Every structure is written in C-alpha cells, then in structure tokens.
Amino acid sequence: MTAETQVALVEDDTGMRERISRVVDADPSLSLAYSASNASDILRWLVDNPIDVLLVDLGLPDRPGLQVISQCRNMQPACAVMVLSIFGDEANMVQAFEAGASGYLLKDGTEADLATHIRHLRAGGSPMSPVIARKLLRRWQAHSGAAPREQAAAKAAGTATVAPERLSPREFEVLDLVSRGFTYVEVGVQMGVSASTVQTHIRNIYGKLDVHNKSEAVFEARNLGWLP
C-alpha cells in the first residue's frame, strides 16, 4: 500500500490556512503533518520532522517565504516545495524558483485542484498556475535564441506577436468592478444589465487576455497597465 504523502503548510491567513488544511485532510493519499502561521514555527518544526511536501505563502509576517523555501531545501533536500501566493509578478516567481520551489500556484479563491497539484508535485511535476507558466515561458524565450528567430519569422510572415486585444469600454468597466470584489449580480445592477450579460463580458475578457479565472484576468490587466 502506498504511504501517505506527508504535507506541511505555512500560511499566515487563518481562513486560507484552514481551507488548505481541509483539502489536504480530505484526500486519503495526503496527510497534513503540521501547519504554521509564521516562518519561525515551521522552520523550528522542520528540523526534526521530515516531510514530502511543503506549501509556502510568500507574504509571512516574520520573514519572507523565500527564506523558508531556501532553508527547507537545505534542511530537507528531498522535500518538494510549492508556493501558494497572491504574488504573481515575475520577480517573486523567479526568486521562488531560484530558492528551490518546484511549483507555484496563485490563490484564486478555490482549492478544488490543490490535492491533485500536490500529488503531481510529489511525483516529480512542477504545478503552476497558467499565468505563472506563461511568464516562465516568456522569460525562457527572452533568454534563448528561439524568441528572436520566431519573432523575425512572424514579422516576415506578417504575423508578428502583438499585445493582447484591448478591452472594450464595457469590458473595462466589468473587470474594474470585479477586481474590486463585486459579484456578477452586483456588477449587473451597477451597470444596468443582467448577470448573464456580465458573464458574457467576462468570457470575452478571459479570451482577450488568454486567462482562465478572475485572479489571472485582474493580474494580467494590471500588468498591462489597464487597471490601477
């Protein structure tokens, strides 16, 4: 019989920590060995407790999550580390992977696939939110010879890469309201349209930005300077 994957978690937000803990506890192939709210506690515990997977929030109250990743990898080289964070910028992503993380997921309000991601991580995979994977790919392309050649070929063929299609004024309004926490129904009320119309705008926004959820859409729009 396959042994349970031993998981530890460090997350300072109580609600998020409890939700993640429930996901791990509910999966028979996983076992939550320890959860902590700060870096000091998890690092003390890791000294004498070998685990398979560590889930790390980057924004910890006492020291950066990046330090936790690095020290965990030094103490337990066999432990796979995955970031769970609201930070999707390139600097945090690169620093996390350089510190020793093997996976990077953005918090988007759902933990439905987290258990699957943990199993993939344990099996040698590198789970990443789509927006993180795209940034990593773009970074690799920018530092390799492939991107310039591909861009030159595309330009010669008249298909050079362009920025994402700009949103319409109504789509901007929808995304702005959604980014401020309004539900689709509330957005519809403010705009004087039905919730289904709002959902249609959301689908169009996702398509133009090549994203799959609200967190990615808001992040991409901010990255492009379309949202404050």
10-residue block means of pLDDT along the chain (228 residues)? 85 93 94 97 97 96 94 93 88 88 81 87 85 73 53 46 70 85 85 86 84 75 76
pLDDT for 86: 85
pLDDT for 110: 56
With beta carbons less than 8 A apart as the criterion, state whether 126 and 106 touch: no
pLDDT for 109: 52
With beta carbons less than 8 A apart as the criterion, state whether 208 and 226 touch: no
> What residues form DSSP beta bridges with 35?
9
pLDDT for 161: 42
- Predicted structure pTM score: 0.64
Of 13, 203, 29, 16, give the one whose Cα is nearest residue 121: 29
pLDDT for 147: 45
pLDDT for 205: 87
Residues 210 and 103: their CA atoms lie apart, in Å, by: 21
pLDDT for 56: 97
Report the b/e string of 204-217 with b at 16+ CB within 10 A: bbbebbebebbbbb
- Crossing angle of the two packed helices 65-75 and 90-99, in degrees rounded to 10: 20
pLDDT for 143: 59
With beta carbons less than 8 A apart as the criterion, state whether 97 and 52 touch: no
- Which bin fits 155, alpha (ψ -120 to 50), beta or left (φ > 0)? alpha
